[in-house]
Amino acid sequence: MSKHATLVFSRHGESEWNVANIFTGWVDVDLSEKGLGEAKGAGELLKAENLQIDIAFTSFLKRAIKTCNLALESADQLYVPVNKSWRLNERMYGGLTGLDKKETVVKHGAEQVQIWRRSFDIPPPALEKESKYHPCHEPKYAALDPKEVPDTECLKDTIARVMPYWESTIAPELKAGKTVFVAAHGNSIRAIVKMIEGISDDVIPGLEIPTGTPLVYELDADLKPIASPLAVEPLKFGRYLGDAEKIKAAAEAVKNQTKVG
Is residue 90 marked as binding? yes
| Whole-Å CA distances, 221 to 172, 173, 217, 243, 254 | 11, 11, 13, 30, 34
Determine which one of 4, 38, 90, 173 is catalytic. 90
According to DSSP, the residues that pair with 183 across neighbouring strands are: 10, 58
Q: How far apart are CA 234 and CA 208, in angstroms?
A: 10
- Would the annotation count 86 as a binding residue? no
Q: Is 44 a catalytic residue?
A: no
Q: Alpha-carbon distance 201 to 119, whole Å? A: 9
90 catalytic? Reply is yes
Alpha-carbon span 227 to 214, nearest angstrom: 17
**187 annotated among ligand-binding-site residues:** yes
Q: What is the 3-state secondary structure (H, E, C) of 188-215?
A: HHHHHHHHHHCCCCCCHHHCCCCCCCCE
Catalytic residue among 12, 153, 197, 218: 12
Between CA 243 and CA 54 the distance in angstroms is 25
Question: How many Cα atoms sit within 13 Å of 249 on the Cβ side?
Answer: 5
The reply, when asked if residue 87 is annotated as ligand binding, is no
Collapsing DSSP to helix, strand or coil, 94 comes out as helix
The number of CA neighbours under 13 Å toward the Cβ of 77 is 25
Is 239 flagged in the annotation as binding?
A: no
92 is in an annotated binding site: yes
Asked if residues 135 and 92 have their Cβ atoms less than 8 Å apart, the reply is yes
Q: Is residue 89 a known part of a binding site?
A: no
The answer to whether 190 is a known ligand-binding residue is: no
Neighbours of 73 (CB within 10 A): 13
The answer to whether 101 is annotated as binding is: yes
State yes or no: 43 annotated in a binding site: no
Binding residues for substrate: 11-18, 24-25, 63, 90-93, 101, 117-118, 186-187
Binding residues: 11-18, 24-25, 63, 90-93, 101, 117-118, 186-187
Active site residues: 12, 90
